[in-house]
Amino acid sequence: MRKVTGLWMAVCLALLVLGLRWHPLWGAALAVGGCAGSSRFLSARPGRRARRFAGRPDGAELAAVMEAADRELKQLRLYADRIADRRTRDAAAALADIGGRVYDELCRRPERIPSAGRLLAARLDAAGQLLIRYAAYQEAGLRTPEVLEFQRRVRGTLPGQRADLERQLARLRSSPETGSGEADQETGERLPEPEAGACGTGIRSCCQ
C-alpha cells in the first residue's frame, strides 16, 4: 500500500506541475492531500468489517477471512472488465456477481465464515488467477496456439466455476444450521493451466 501511495503522489504532482503548470509547492500540497484521502478511503472498509464482528470472540478471524474474500472479489471484477472477448468477459462478470452474493450471504451468517469464507476466497482467487493470465496474454498480443487453447479452456471453465458458487450459495441459504464440513468442501475440479511455452518472451512472470 505504501508503494502504491507513493507512486500515486508522484503521478499527481507530475500532472499538476507539468500538465497544469502549477507551482511545485501548490502541486505537492494537493498531491499529499489527495493521497491521504485516497488512503483513508481504501482502508475504511476493513475497519467497518472488523466492527461488524467486534462482539464475537472470533471476530478478528472472521474479519480476516472476509477481507481476503473481498480482496479476491475486487481482483476478479477488475480483470473481468479488462477481457476483450465478450463471451469470456460476460462469463467472468457473472462469476463475480454470484461471488458477491455468496459474500453477502456469509456476512449474514457469520457462523459459516471460517470454512465457507475460505472456500469462497479460494474459488475467487483461482478464477482471478486465470483472468490475470488471460488478460496478460491478450494485452501482450500473444496469439500462439498454446495461448489460444488456454483462453478457450478458460472460457469453458468459467461457467463451471460459477455453478460451484451457485451451489455454495444454495447450501448457505437452505441449510443455515449446517456447520462447516462436507457441505463446504470443494468439488475438486481441476482448473486449466497454460501449456508449456504459452507465455512467450517478455511475459513469463505471469506463469509463475
Contacts of 199 (CB under 8 A, 6+ apart): 137, 142, 206, 207
Give the per-residue pLDDT at 53.
Answer: 82
- CA angle, 119 then 98 then 51, to 5°: 65
The Cα–Cα gap between 130 and 147 comes to 12
Give the per-residue pLDDT at 120.
Answer: 96
Q: Say what the pTM is.
A: 0.66
- How far from the centroid of its chain's Cα atoms is residue 188's Cα? 21
Give the per-residue pLDDT at 52.
Answer: 77
Give the per-residue pLDDT at 24.
Answer: 53
Give the per-residue pLDDT at 205.
Answer: 39
Which cell is 199 given?
507465455
The Cα–Cα gap between 85 and 67 comes to 30
Give the per-residue pLDDT at 21.
Answer: 54
The Cα–Cα gap between 162 and 206 comes to 24
**Per-block mean pLDDT, blocks of 10 residues, the chain (208 long):** 43 45 50 45 49 82 94 96 96 97 94 94 96 96 96 96 96 69 46 45 39
